[in-house]
C-alpha cells in the first residue's frame, strides 16, 4: 500500500546507494499517482452549449474522460458531431470546439413609412427602427431584438410609424379655411383659405402641415388676411360717380 511504499523508500535511502534510492522514489511516486490519479474540476461552461445531463451529474472526472455538450436553445449544430471536452493529464479541460452557432431571425420586415437598420440577423442582435420624415415611432422603444421564442428565434414586435400631426390651423377674421370639422391634421395635409364676399385674400392662400423636428407638426407659414379694397379705389369710384351725375 501507500504506507508500505514510503517506508521502503526510507529504508533503502538509509542503507543503499543513491541510485537505488532514486529508483525507489520513482516507484513510490508511480504508485501514489496510480492510487490517486486526481480529477478535473467541473466541466467548462460555454455560452453556445451546455453539458449533457448524463455527464453533468458525475462527481469525478478522471484523466482522459470526455464529456459531451448539447447546443443551447437558439443555437444549431453546424456539423454532425457534438462538442466535447476531455480531461487532460494536467487536470485541465480541453477547449470546447464552437460547433454550435446562433440561429438567424432572418431579415426583419420594415414598418410602413420606415425601415429597420441592421447588418446582422442572429440571436442577440439589436436593430434600430427609423421612420421616414414626417412620421414618428408609436411606442417607447426604437429598438427590436432577435430573441428566443420557444425553441426558435424571432424578432420582437416592430413598432409602427405614425404620421405627425399639426394643431388646428389658425382662424382668420372675415374668412375661413376648408378644414373646419376635421378632427386631425396629419403630415402633408393642406388647408385653403377664402375670404367673405367683398374682401380680398392677402398672403398665403394655402398652408401645409410640415415638421421641423420630426416629432410634432407645424404649419408651413403664416395665415393670410382678408382685407377690403384700398381707400383710393373707393375714392376714385366716388369721383367717377359724382362726375357722371353732374354731367
pLDDT in tens, the chain (247 residues): 333 444 444 444 444 444 444 444 444 444 444 445 689 999 999 999 999 999 999 999 999 999 999 999 999 999 999 999 999 999 999 999 999 999 999 999 999 999 999 999 999 999 999 999 999 998 878 999 999 999 899 999 999 999 999 999 999 999 999 998 899 999 999 999 999 999 999 999 999 999 988 889 999 999 999 998 765 555 555 566 555 544 4
Q: Looking at the structure, give the CATH architecture of the domain made up of residues 49-102.
A: Ribbon (2.10)
For 27, counting Cβ atoms within 10 Å of its Cβ (0-12 exposed, 13-18 middle, 19+ buried), the class is middle
| CA 142/CA 156 separation, integer angstroms | 11
Superfamily grouping for domain 166-227: Complement Module, domain 1 (2.10.70.10)
Per-residue pLDDT at 233:
55
| CA 33/CA 73 separation, integer angstroms | 41
| CA 67/CA 51 separation, integer angstroms | 7
CB 8 within 8 A of CB 23: no
Per-residue pLDDT at 92:
97
Residues 6+ apart with CB under 8 A from 175: 193, 194, 195, 196, 199, 201, 224, 226
Q: Looking at the structure, give the CATH architecture of the domain made up of residues 114-163.
A: Ribbon (2.10)
The pTM assigned to this predicted structure is 0.65
DSSP state of 157: P
Per-residue pLDDT at 236:
58
Amino acid at each position: 500500500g501507500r504506507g508500505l511504499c514510503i517506508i521502503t523508500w526510507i529504508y533503502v535511502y538509509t542503507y543503499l546507494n543513491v541510485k537505488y534510492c532514486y529508483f525507489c522514489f520513482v516507484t513510490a511516486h508511480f504508485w501514489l499517482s496510480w492510487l490517486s490519479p486526481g480529477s478535473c474540476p467541473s466541466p467548462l461552461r460555454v455560452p453556445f452549449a451546455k453539458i449533457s445531463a448524463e455527464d453533468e451529474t458525475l462527481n469525478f472526472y478522471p484523466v482522459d474522460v470526455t464529456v459531451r455538450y448539447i447546443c443551447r436553445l437558439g443555437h444549431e449544430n453546424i456539423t454532425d458531431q457534438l462538442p466535447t471536452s476531455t480531461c487532460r493529464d494536467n487536470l485541465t479541460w480541453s477547449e470546447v470546439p464552437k460547433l454550435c452557432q446562433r440561429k438567424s431571425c432572418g431579415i426583419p420586415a420594415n414598418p410602413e413609412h420606415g425601415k429597420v437598420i441592421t447588418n446582422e440577423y442572429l440571436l442577440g442582435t439589436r436593430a434600430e427602427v427609423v421612420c421616414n420624415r414626417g412620421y414618428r415611432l408609436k411606442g417607447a422603444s426604437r429598438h427590436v431584438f432577435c430573441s428566443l421564442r420557444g425553441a426558435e428565434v424571432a424578432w420582437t414586435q416592430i413598432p409602427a410609424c405614425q404620421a405627425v400631426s399639426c394643431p388646428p390651423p389658425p382662424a382668420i377674421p372675415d374668412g375661413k379655411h376648408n378644414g373646419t370639422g376635421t378632427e386631425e391634421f396629419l403630415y402633408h395635409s393642406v388647408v385653403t383659405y377664402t375670404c367673405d364676399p367683398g374682401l380680398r385674400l392677402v398672403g398665403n392662400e394655402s398652408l401645409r402641415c410640415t415638421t421641423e423636428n420630426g416629432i410634432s407638426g407645424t404649419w408651413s407659414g403664416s395665415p393670410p388676411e382678408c382685407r377690403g379694397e384700398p381707400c383710393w379705389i373707393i375714392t376714385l369710384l366716388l369721383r367717377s360717380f359724382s362726375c357722371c351725375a353732374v354731367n
